[in-house]
Structure 1
């Protein structure tokens, strides 16, 4: 299934997409929240569709928000593609690198993004996102991870590289948490429709190709990431995990950083496409 949220910021309505039509989910849930994702959402929505309880929604011209309500946490995996680690000037990590972004960075897939004041090194990063559906703490093995995943999303892990690296003080958060720095969606796609082990990821800036890789190239794959994080923290329903970006970003020195007027587009097969204008 494909879950989404339509409407202006702060007033989004939960919907499900079926055969290119959207259906109102408010008879089932007030939002695409952790509580909803923990309550067998696919079965609940399928039963409501079969019973004719969900009415179609006209989505023409309506803003598509982030497909999940504000998560309690946004966890990120750094340097999880060997070629990206190399272009960043680092060796591939032997242990999973984790950092966090502020949850209020999450915005819709087509929202404009403001380049932060005084920023000269705003960068793009296409990433596969994992949305947690069941609480996960001290999982026994990576084999247990799948039962705790509600679905997958595209995310743009935007970064201000000077703040992240040169002015960081040893942590990455300052370069990762500007307003709008986590466009997500357009959909949350449930695991019955997606095999995350080998998906193509691509990005473009002003129509020119930048990143083109596959999740098969992840150093730490999806099951390992969820299992590993659960050994160090408690994952909650609705939490978002960004799994890392492949090579092809401005940090490499091969491309200019973003400026006002630039258009960034991202795509992951099966998860849709994003487009942001930078202002």
Structure 2
């Protein structure tokens, strides 16, 4: 029997894959919070790895937009921020994965932007409320094409971002507080990781606001580039 619906179901979210005609279907979007020391300090929440574990938030797959897109400045914010990130792409199921085996679930990597209504996020944070209105924002999860790198663990490489050609963020992936292996091992204690899960691994210092008319461009050495144009609010 054919299933019918009251309205058309949303399309499967997917990303292009370098060198392939097939697209990569997206499952879930995970984000690692405060995973570079200098960024944690600039947010007023320094991290002591000796006594803390990574923490995460999620966004709906429907927030995903492709690199190069133009998006409207989002509603109900006066402080919309960029965050440049290395994105880990899961290619195999994994649960309670040991750090030494973390490479076995890696399909590849991409470059991404975690766009954030910072004013709403900070209000929620300071009141102990969920971050959803600040983070889970329409068109806020920007991602480049996926670069297949099966079982490769990236441990270093320049990560940088410019706004209208002016450098705003510049660091190295080797400054991650929790590296790729540690992230996979820890996150897989809480979730059964699945093919198509994207893990945005955190942003370095230098985050800041954008306005209508701005163009954001970022890159991670050895992976690729990401870009986003900000249009006027609706």
The two structures share one fold, judged by TM-score above 0.5: yes
1:150 aligns with 2:107: yes
Two-structure CA RMSD over aligned residues (Å): 2.2
**Relative to 1, partners in 2 of residues 1:232 and 1:216: Cα closer, same or farther, differing over 3 Å?**
same
- Offset of 1:195 from its aligned partner? 4.9
Alignment of 1:230-249 (within 5 A): 230-249=188-207
1:170 aligns with 2:133: no
- Offset of 1:228 from its aligned partner? 0.4
Aligned partner of 1:103 in structure 2 is 61
Do the aligned residues in 2 keep the contact of 1:13 with 1:24 (CA within 8 Å)? Answer: no
1:267 aligns with 2:219: yes
**Relative to 1, partners in 2 of residues 1:277 and 1:247: Cα closer, same or farther, differing over 3 Å?**
same
Unaligned runs of 5+ in 2: 1-10
Unaligned runs of 5+ in 1: 1-9, 26-30, 34-70, 251-256
Alignment of 1:212-231 (within 5 A): 212-231=170-189
Do the aligned residues in 2 keep the contact of 1:194 with 1:270 (CA within 8 Å)? Answer: no
Tell me how many residue pairs correspond in the alignment. 217
Aligned partner of 2:37 in structure 1 is 82
> TM-score normalized by structure 1?
0.72
Q: Quick one: higher RCO (CA 8 Å, sep 6+), 1 or 2?
A: 2
- Offset of 1:86 from its aligned partner? 0.3
> TM-score normalized by structure 2?
0.86
Aligned partner of 2:8 in structure 1 is none
Return the structure number with greater strand share. 2
